[in-house]
Chains A and B, each alone.
Chain A
Amino acid sequence: MADEQTTLPPDDPVRFYQVGSFAVGNRLQPLDLRTVQAAQDRPNALTCGHRACQGCGEALGARYALDAAVRATDGRLVSVNATGCLEVFSTPFPETSWRIAWLHSLFGNAPAVATGMAAGLRALGKSDVRVVAQGGDGGTVDIGFGCLSGMFERNDDVLYICYDNEAYMNTGVQRSGATPPAARTQTTQAVGPEPGNVFGQGKDVPRIAMAHEIPYVATATVADLHDLEGKVNTAMGIRGARYLHILVPCPLGWGSASKDTIAVARAATQCGLFPVFEARDGEVVASTPIRRLTPVDDYLRMQKRFAHLFAPARRDDVIDRLQAMADRNIRRYGLLEEAAR
């Protein structure tokens, strides 16, 4: 590896398009900003051989998140995992894909187990060892929510990562509190006059986490893995309760192509339905601007779970409501403001 740092002209309007995206070529980054995954000695916290589906967003997000956490803590890290896809596909005993210390207890208690780990490590004089808890959206926004809120409220020294694929995928795609309106799941089927999930208030856990005024709350997606790594790195530099909410498309549950996982995640951010931001002590301090604003149509059409909005007849009434949700996010987080970052 070259020692010298490559400096980039700050206002160069030309970006690096060689990968067909807005991603900056990793080789052109300063060493300390290069992605963890590019290092030959990357930790591979979640290593190969696991049984996730092809194109699984959660497996991708978890590997990047945990590798970044391992690097940020110099390997002084223990983890707890809620029941769910990530737990099941990573540890069909006697095999395990985890190369870090890893504990699975129950579906709804990962935040409390993490609290106990952090307390136990303090009691043992091992405060240098950090705790990461992880779960899917069901384990986080529904069944584990009481424990999550308790962990936040006490400001326990835990990073909790929610891999949000917007339904109970491990049990075969049922609605969760994070399932978006109109989406088809096995318990909100695409039948009847109002097919798909109901329009409710939704459970916006990043904002609920902010209401606890914990030191750090952030959202990320697998479309911007460098940003995801950076947020994990930031989170591990802070003591107290931290929450990272990562959008991880699920080809099986969303009815999207396995090859499109990253494209679908990017589409969610570019229409405004999934805002990417950071908050400190309950206040939004940064958001990732939308680079090329698209209507929600573009995002919805990539997924069979929204197919009933386009056939047999286009449901403008429903699509307009989803567009209004995206527009509200754009206003709330200033996603079209160039100086947002």
Chain B
Amino acid sequence: MPVQIEGSQAVARAVAACRPGVICAYPISPQTHIVEGLSALVKSGELPGCEFVNVESEFAAMSTAIGASAVGARAYTATASQGLLFMVEAVYNASGLGLPIVMTVANRAIGAPINIWNDHSDTMSQRDSGWLQLYAETNQEAADLHVQAFRIAEQISLPVMVCMDGFILTHAMEVVEVPTPEQVARFLPPFHPRQVVDPDDPVSIGAMVGPEAFTEVRYLAHHRQMEALEVIPRVADEFREVFGRDSGGLVRPYRCDDAETVVIALGSVLGTLKDVVDERRARGERIGVLGITSFRPFPRDQVRDVLWNASRFISLEKAFSVGIGGIVSSQVRASLIGHPITNSTVVAGLGGRPITKASLHAMLDRSARDELEYLEFLDLDRALVQREIARTRVGTRSGPAAENMLRDLGAVRSTPH
């Protein structure tokens, strides 16, 4: 039954429907509402047999999930931004040990300067962590992806991050069909771990591996992600059969069939992009959008197929690799080796800056005139940057850059709450 519900609450109920054995919780905005929702469900007795552990840090949250998963319990946690970075050592450990933990990341910028709003810097920093990464476009998809994530994780014995845009999705009230426990029971089998710490069959897990086998162990991690490229669409198909709606999968092309220009993006900005594309299509422009749901594993074949007849792609990215530029675009180019195609990276929405239709139209107008550079920053206030650069050229003690620029603006545009 469709209900009007906050994104975080929808995710909490979807996770609860998957009957996790252990939930590890540590607060960080904008993820907190999810674990609050789960806390209430456990406390009220709606999740019998589920252990809700209030840990002392994100590092402990992931470590507790590792312990729970290792003894064979279905384990879940959620985090964002600094919290994800604080647990990084355990994030890599969970995937290295092959433990099928599911974690929500409510995507948020990384400081300094500290910023609580949305971009993808946090999860993009973990693209090489060995976790699968699925990006939700809507709250419906966010809820659905969690159900699929447990299924995928447990099938291939690797952990899965479900990435949903902080505030934009987590705090948005939308109509969502929340997966029910009855539906999930028909879709998600009980967790049968490939390996388990068990006194009845004692094994050693997490031993030291030297040069003689380390390459092979790491190769296997890659191999399993490549297998996931087949598992993810199959799971999405089965999901459709049980739940009657499309969610998940590898890529989500929109009006790409005859497109000359394809804009590529991840997450909630796809909605705005589709509106913009509809408006430009109405004017006769051959343009489409390619949403990438599975960023890890990266669906090279599917991306190549969508882009094969296009002459240009623009990668709209909510994060970038400082010192070179686009992250998603480099992976897309790797999918198109030998195929000539013009491309640009447009970095947008950093630290919660709104990505408006007006700005996207202006950017696409310039693209249509062939004026787009290889790397651009949408709505960059060049004058503000130039003033700070000028300050650093005069004298050696120009002061803290972020605070200087806020002073130049005359007012803080937004305040933390």
Known: A101-B199, A116-B75, A123-B22. A146 touches B68 (CB 8 A): no
Can you list 13 residue pairs at the A/B interface with Cβ under 8 Å? A78-B71, A91-B208, A94-B207, A99-B202, A101-B197, A102-B204, A103-B197, A109-B59, A112-B64, A116-B63, A120-B51, A120-B67, A120-B75
* Chain A: CB-nearest residue to B26: A150
What is the number of residues of chain A that contact chain B, defined by CB distance less than 8 Å? 46
Q: How far is the CA of A112 from the CA of B87 in the complex (A)?
A: 12
| A-B pairs with beta carbons under 8 A, tally | 163
Is B71 within 8 A of A154, CB to CB?
A: no
Complex CA distance for A94 and B49, rounded to whole angstroms: 36
Residue from the set A115, A119, A147 with the largest chain B CB neighbour count within 10 Å: A119
A91-B208, A96-B204, A123-B68 known; A102-B73 Cβ under 8 A = no
Known contacts: A78-B198, A116-B67. The answer to whether A124 contacts B208 by CB under 8 A is no
Closest to B53 in A: A119
What 18 new A-B contacts, CB under 8 Å, besides A100-B199, A103-B206, A150-B56? A78-B197, A78-B199, A91-B208, A98-B204, A101-B197, A102-B202, A112-B63, A112-B67, A115-B53, A115-B55, A115-B63, A116-B24, A119-B22, A120-B21, A120-B69, A120-B71, A120-B75, A147-B63
Are B55 and A150 touching (Cβ within 8 A)? yes
The minimal Cβ–Cβ distance linking A48 to chain B, given in whole angstroms, is 15
Contact of A93 among B53, B54, B207 (CB under 8 A): B207
Q: Please, which residues of chain A bring their CB within 8 A of the CB of B198?
A: 78, 101
**Residue A121 at the B interface, CB < 8 A?**
yes
Instruction: Indicate whether B309 reaches chain A with its CB closer than 8 angstroms.
Output: no
Closest A residue to B59 by beta carbon equals A109
What are the residues of chain B within 8 A of A77 when measuring CB–CB?
199
CA A91 to CA B208, docked complex, whole Å: 6
Does B90 sit within 8 A of A, measured CB to CB? yes
- Pairwise interchain contact A116-B22, C-beta atoms closer than 8 A: yes
Quick one: which of B65, B201, B207 has the most chain A CB within 10 A? B207
In whole Å, how far is A143's beta carbon from the nearest beta carbon of chain B? 10
A228 touches B (CB below 8 Å): no
Q: Closest residue to B205 on the A side, CB-wise?
A: A103
Residues of A within 8 A of B201 (CB): 101
- Chain A's nearest CB lies how many Å from the CB of B39? 14
Does A210 make an interface contact (CB < 8 A)?
no
Interface members, chain A 146-189 (any B CB < 8 Å): 146-147, 149-150, 153-154
Residues of B within 8 A of A (CB): 21-22, 24, 49-51, 53-57, 59-60, 63-73, 75, 89-90, 93, 97, 197-199, 201-210, 213
CB contacts (< 8 Å) of A93 on chain B: these are: 204, 207-210, 213
Residue contact B57 to A105, C-beta cutoff 8 Å: no
Q: Which A80-94 residues have C-beta < 8 A from chain B? A: 80-81, 87-88, 91-94
Bound-state Cα–Cα, A119 to B53, Å: 8
Q: How far is the CA of A75 from the CA of B60 in the complex (A)?
A: 27
A120–B208 touching, CB < 8 Å: no
How many angstroms from the CA of A90 to the CA of B22 in the assembled complex?
30
Query: In the assembled complex, which residues on chain B have CB atoms less than 8 Å from the CB atom of A118?
Result: 67
Q: Does residue A113 face the partner (Cβ distance < 8 Å to B)?
A: yes
Inside 8 A of B90's CB, which chain A residues have their CB?
105-106, 109
Contact between A75 and B199, CB atoms less than 8 A apart: yes
CB contact under 8 A between A106 and B89, given known A113-B66, A120-B68, A124-B72: yes
What is the CB-to-nearest-CB distance from A205 to chain B, in angstroms, rounded to a whole number? 16
Q: Is A76 an interface residue (CB 8 A)?
A: yes
B65 contacts A116, C-beta separation under 8 Å = yes
- In the complex, residue of chain A having the shortest beta-carbon distance to the beta carbon of B51: A119
Q: How far is the CB of A272 from chain B (nearest CB, A)?
A: 34
Q: Are A113 and B56 interface neighbours, CB within 8 A?
A: no
- A-to-B contact residues, CB < 8 Å: 75-78, 80-81, 87-88, 91-94, 96, 98-106, 108-109, 112-126, 129, 146-147, 149-150, 153-154
Chain B residues within 8 Å of A101, by CB: 197-199, 201-203
B68/A117 in contact, CB under 8 A: yes
Can you name the residue of chain A whose Cβ is closest to the Cβ of B196? A101
Residue among A115, A123, A124 having the largest count of chain B Cβ atoms under 10 Å: A123
Residues of B within 8 A of A99 (CB): 202
B56 touches A119 (CB 8 A): no
CB atoms of A113 and B208 under 8 A apart: no
Q: Are B64 and A121 in contact (CB under 8 A)?
A: no
Pairwise interchain contact B55-A112, C-beta atoms closer than 8 A:
yes
Contact yes or no, B56 A123, CB < 8 A: no
Which listed residue, B49, B70, B203, B213, touches A113 by the CB 8 Å rule?
A: B70
What residues of chain A lie closer than 8 Å to B205, measured between beta carbons?
102-104
Does B68 lie within 8 Å of A116, measured CB to CB? Answer: yes
A91 in contact with B207 (CB, 8 Å): yes
Q: Are B21 and A124 in contact (CB under 8 A)?
A: yes
Give the distance in Å from the alpha carbon of A57 to the alpha carbon of B182 in the complex. Answer: 55
Contacts of A116 in B (CB 8 A): 22, 24, 53, 63-71, 75
Distance between B346 CB and nearest chain A CB, rounded to angstroms? 38
Contact between A124 and B73 (Cβ–Cβ < 8 Å)? yes
Complex Cα–Cα for A81 and B57 (A)? 20
Who on chain B is nearest to A93 by CB? B207
A108 touches B59 (CB 8 A): yes
Please determine whether B97 and A105 come into contact, CB atoms closer than 8 angstroms: yes
Using A106-B90, A116-B65, A119-B53 as known contacts, say yes or no to A91 and B204 having CB atoms under 8 A apart.
Answer: yes
Contact indicator A76/B66 (Cβ below 8 Å): no
Q: Complex: how many Å from CA A119 to CA B61?
A: 12
The answer to whether A150 and B21 touch across the interface, beta carbons within 8 angstroms, is no
| A22 → B minimal CB distance (Å) | 36
Tell me the bound Cα distance from A81 to B208 in angstroms.
Answer: 12
Q: Which residue of B lies closest to A123 (CB)?
A: B21
A115 vs B52: C-alpha distance in the bound complex, in angstroms?
Answer: 11
CB neighbours of B203 from chain A (8 A): 101-102
Closest 4 A/B residue pairs (Cβ): A116-B67, A120-B73, A150-B56, A123-B21
Query: Within the complex, what minimum Cβ distance (angstroms) separates A112 from chain B?
Result: 4
Residue of chain B at shortest CB distance from A116: B67
Complex alpha-carbon distance, A136 and B204, angstroms: 19
* Distance of A177 Cα from B63 Cα, bound (Å): 23
